[in-house]
């Protein structure tokens, strides 16, 4: 049976750097798609779709993440890492105090991950860019909502320590042994 491992946490915590290290070590990783949704919206003249239409943005993300989950089943590998998971979608909506339909929770229950690995906020490495508009304090808040969403769904959460990229990657791989 394929293990599906979600790597999550607030923005700017080093998730993507570790995902890239996993790729360098020849592990199968499914990329984050929110930047693609954001950039696609920009091409249509919407600077920050998540801020202007959070529900539309989140519906697009939900659909994309479900598709990624389903497509992962077709891969010839026993282990897949996901840069963010389906529950991240409604956790962001919770953080923004945005109402959403039950389908967000229903899909988070339907599509389960084997393990949830969360990256805690780390101010020393935090940076913002054109797609990451959140401040460090907002990253802390988002982290709390993401963590709570996975706990509410019954997951055990494994928190990655503040270490080098190599040590963080090794920590994750050691969890899977």
Residue range 91-142, pLDDT digits in tens: 999 998 999 999 999 999 999 999 999 999 887 876 765 555 677 788 899 9
Residue 41 has pLDDT above 60, yes or no: yes
Longest Cα separation, the chain? 47
CA distances from 65 to 8, 68, 109 (A): 13, 5, 13
The owner of tokens 């659909």 is 63
Residue 162: which residues within 8 A CB-CB, separation 6 or more?
120, 122, 124
Lowest-pLDDT range of 38-52, 112-126, 156-170: 38-52
CA distance 68 to 161: 27
Domains and CATH numbers, the chain: 3-175 (3.40.50.300)
C-beta separation of 95 from 142 below 8 A: yes
C-beta separation of 107 from 86 below 8 A: yes
């Amino acid at each position: 049976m394929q293990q599906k491992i979600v790597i999550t946490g607030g923005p700017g915590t080093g998730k993507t750097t570790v995902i890239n290290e996993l790729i360098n070590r020849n592990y199968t990783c499914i990329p984050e798609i929110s930047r693609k949704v954001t950039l696609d919206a920009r091409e249509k003249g919407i600077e920050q779709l998540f801020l202007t239409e959070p529900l539309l943005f989140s519906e697009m993300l939900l659909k994309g993440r479900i598709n990624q989950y389903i497509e992962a089943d077709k891969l010839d590998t026993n282990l897949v890492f996901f840069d963010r998971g389906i529950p991240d979608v409604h956790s962001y909506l919770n953080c923004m105090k945005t109402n959403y339909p039950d389908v967000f929770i229903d899909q988070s229950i339907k599509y389960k991950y084997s393990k949830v690995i969360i990256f805690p906020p780390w101010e020393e490495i935090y940076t913002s860019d054109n797609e990451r508009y959140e401040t460090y304090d907002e990253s802390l808040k988002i982290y709390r909502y993401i963590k709570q969403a996975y706990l509410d769904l019954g997951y055990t959460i494994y928190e990655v320590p503040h270490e080098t990229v190599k040590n963080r990657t090794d920590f994750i791989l050691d969890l899977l042994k």
